[in-house]
């Protein structure tokens, strides 16, 4: 057996799959689920949420909203499916938590809630698991400090962290050097509590779930792409700009969370790679700032069709039909990265099975995710017999599928997307591919293994031989 690392726990092993067929319900969108709970806590009255992702990351945010004074309850709706009710406190109405807020593995939850509590006149202590404690928080600390909040944390801006909010939140105009929905959202959530306009600009538009959710709740939000005049000897450029008018009065709203396109990505790529596959995936969010992977796969030759297009709580939604396809390698431009930053691991798997070379540029953000995903994918693919190289902020993958017959064990470093990506790669080729710890998958896709096996996959927990 070849392997990248060893571990005493029982691996999760993926072997060649049969054709994947049927209708599969994907969990709710993680990004929208976080924001639904937060906005419910900031609105007056009851917000009802259906389709909420029941993964560990989102459940941490639900617990944090309760710790900050909102009433949060899980019940059953008329259809027997989970229904979440949040009774909010209004803008400025949250209260000091009695204990440390444990964000688990959730970078989104940690950064958004840090922005939220920075606008309250109390101190909040935050921590997370080993993976989250390695991730930098200075990208939100810098702008939020300008509002009057104070931050105390470990070297490099890392958790654990104490956030001492300001009694007089100030509106902020922040020009972000990176396109990051988490940074933008942290500043905008603080800005909801400040009088006047809070403005964020970024190089290109990152995910706009916060802006859409704000509008749905009645917040005055303005967004546009603005031209920057050319300087001496320089060409003009553009920036994406968002303005929010603070201190609105929000009322509770019903929210139906669409299925997560980042989670659907693993089923989509599985169906494209396993011969004879044909899947229907209902209610998938198709926000244009989230569909970069689907666009890229279609350029590679994927048979992906959108049907029953509609809108839910301000978000565009459709059903996806996916059929097995022969893919070809392409160049994926850097400017597409913000619309698919979480999907590069599974795109790398698709590239590994395509005909020819795929080059993915502009992947610097992958180095500061749950793991260094750029290195993790390059090293893992090599261990599976795929030619792959991480060069600077690019990943270059030469297709042809995994090579060899011996099982291979991949260390996932508490990263759910790395784990699911290599379990998908194990569905094609002769060599079983195992991940050392599949528990991290629960952060975003709790029943991933059961759902995939029900469609025709062959994934099990067992010792490698």
Query: pLDDT per residue over 243-268, tens digit each?
Result: 999 999 999 999 999 999 999 999 99
Task: Please check whether the two domains, 2-27+259-461 and 30-256, share a CATH topology.
Answer: yes
Instruction: Say which range, 178-192, 309-323, 359-373, 439-453, has the weakest mean pLDDT.
Output: 359-373
Instruction: Say which range, 6-15, 189-198, 288-297, has the weakest mean pLDDT.
Output: 6-15
Query: Dihedral angle at the C-alpha atoms of 262, 267, 273, 277, nearest 10 degrees?
Result: -150
Backbone angles phi, psi at 459, to 5 degrees: -120, 130
Backbone angles phi, psi at 243, to 5 degrees: -120, 140
pLDDT (0 to 100) of residue 277: 98
User: According to the 3-state scheme, what is the secondary structure of the chain?
Assistant: CEECCCCCCCCEEEECCCCCEEECCCCECHHHHHHHHHHHHHCEEEEEEECCCCCHHHHHHHHHHHHCCCEEEEEECCCCCEEEEEEEECCCCCCCCCCCEECCCCHHHHHHHHHHHCCCCCEEEEECCCCHHHCCCHHHHHHHHCCCCEEEEECCCEEEEEEECCCCCCCCEEECCCCCHHHHHHHHHHHCCCCCEEEEEECCCCCCHHHHHHHHCCCCEEEEEEEECCCCCCCCEEEEEEEEECCCCCECCEEECCECHHHHHHHHHHHHHCCCCEEEEEEEECCCCCCHHHHHHHHCCCEEEEEEEEEECCEEEEEEEEECCCCECCEECHHHHHHCHHHHHHHHHHHHCCECEEEECCCHHHHHCCCCHHHHHHHHHHHCCCEEEEECCEEEEECCCCCCCCCEEECCCCCHHHHHHHHHHCCCCCCCEEECCCHHHHHCCCCHHHHHHHHCCEEEECCCC
Q: How far apart are CA 98 and CA 457, in angstroms?
A: 45
pLDDT (0 to 100) of residue 3: 42
Confidence of residue 131 (pLDDT cuts 50, 70, 90): confident
pLDDT (0 to 100) of residue 45: 96
We find that the CATH architecture of domain 2-27+259-461 is Alpha-beta prism (3.65)
Are 346 and 299 spatial neighbours (Cβ–Cβ below 8 Å)? Answer: no
pLDDT (0 to 100) of residue 25: 95
pLDDT (0 to 100) of residue 156: 86
We find that the CATH architecture of domain 30-256 is Alpha-beta prism (3.65)
Q: Which residues fall within 8 angstroms of residue 217, CB to CB, at 6 or more apart?
A: 39, 43, 250, 251, 253
Confidence of residue 232 (pLDDT cuts 50, 70, 90): very low
Confidence of residue 366 (pLDDT cuts 50, 70, 90): confident
High-pLDDT (> 90) share of the chain, %: 80
Q: What pLDDT digit, counting tens, does each position of 379-431 carry?
A: 999 999 999 999 989 999 999 999 998 999 999 988 999 999 999 999 998 99
pLDDT (0 to 100) of residue 31: 93
pLDDT at 371 over 90: no
What residue ranges do the domains of the chain occupy?
A: 2-27+259-461, 30-256
pLDDT at 460 over 60: yes
Mean pLDDT (the chain) is: 92
Q: What pLDDT digit, counting tens, does each position of 203-228 carry?
A: 989 999 999 999 999 999 999 999 87
Give the residue numbers annotated as catalytic, written as ranges. 342
Tell me which residue has tokens 């930053």. Answer: 341
Taking the model in full, what pTM does it have?
A: 0.86
Q: What pLDDT digit, counting tens, does each position of 184-194 carry?
A: 999 999 999 99
Q: How far is CA 174 from CA 115, 138, 228, 342, in A?
A: 13, 14, 15, 25
């Amino acid at each position: 057996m070849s392997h990248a690392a060893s571990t005493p726990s029982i691996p999760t092993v993926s072997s060649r799959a049969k054709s994947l067929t049927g209708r599969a319900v994907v969990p709710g969108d993680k990004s929208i689920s976080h924001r639904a709970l937060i906005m419910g806590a900031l609105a007056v009255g009851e917000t009802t949420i259906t389709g909420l992702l029941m993964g560990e990351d989102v459940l941490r945010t639900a617990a944090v909203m309760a710790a900050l004074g909102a009433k949060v309850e899980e019940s059953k709706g008329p259809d027997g499916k989970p229904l979440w009710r949040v009774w909010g406190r209004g803008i400025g109405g949250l209260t000091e938590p009695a204990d440390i807020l444990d964000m688990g593995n959730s970078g989104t939850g940690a950064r958004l809630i840090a922005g939220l509590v920075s606008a309250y006149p109390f101190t909040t202590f935050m921590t997370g698991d080993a993976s989250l404690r390695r991730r930098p928080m200075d990208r939100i600390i810098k702008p939020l400090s300008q509002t009057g909040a104070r931050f105390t944390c470990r070297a490099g801006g890392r958790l654990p962290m104490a956030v001492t909010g300001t009694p007089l939140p100030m509106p902020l105009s922040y020009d972000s050097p990176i396109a990051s929905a988490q940074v933008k959202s942290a500043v905008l959530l603080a800005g909801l509590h400040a009088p006047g306009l809070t403005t964020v600009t970024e190089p290109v538009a990152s995910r706009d779930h916060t802006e859409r959710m704000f509008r749905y709740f009645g917040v005055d939000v303005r967004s546009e792409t603005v031209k920057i005049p050319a300087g001496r000897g320089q060409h003009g450029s553009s920036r994406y700009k968002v303005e929010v008018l603070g201190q609105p009065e929000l009322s509770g709203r019903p929210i139906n969370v669409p299925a997560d396109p980042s989670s659907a990505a693993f089923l989509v790529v599985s169906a494209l790679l396993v011969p004879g596959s044909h899947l229907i995936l209902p209610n998938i969010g198709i926000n244009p700032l989230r569909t970069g992977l689907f666009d890229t796969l279609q350029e590679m030759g994927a048979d992906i069709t959108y049907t029953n297009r509609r809108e839910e709580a301000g978000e565009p939604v459709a059903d996806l039909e996916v059929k097995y396809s022969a893919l070809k390698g392409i160049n994926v431009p850097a400017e597409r990265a913000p619309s698919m930053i979480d999907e590069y691991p599974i795109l790398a798997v698709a590239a590994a099975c395509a005909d020819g070379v795929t080059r993915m540029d502009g992947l610097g953000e992958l180095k500061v995710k749950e793991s260094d995903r750029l290195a993790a994918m390059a090293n893992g693919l090599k261990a599976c017999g795929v030619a792959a190289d991480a060069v600077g902020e690019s990943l270059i993958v030469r297709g042809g599928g995994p090579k060899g017959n011996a099982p291979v064990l991949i260390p996932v470093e508490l990263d759910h997307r790395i784990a699911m990506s290599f379990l998908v790669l194990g569905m094609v080729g002769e060599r079983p591919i195992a991940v050392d710890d599949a528990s991290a998958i629960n952060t975003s896709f709790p029943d991933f293994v059961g759902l995939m096996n029900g469609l025709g996959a062959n994934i099990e927990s067992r010792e490698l031989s």
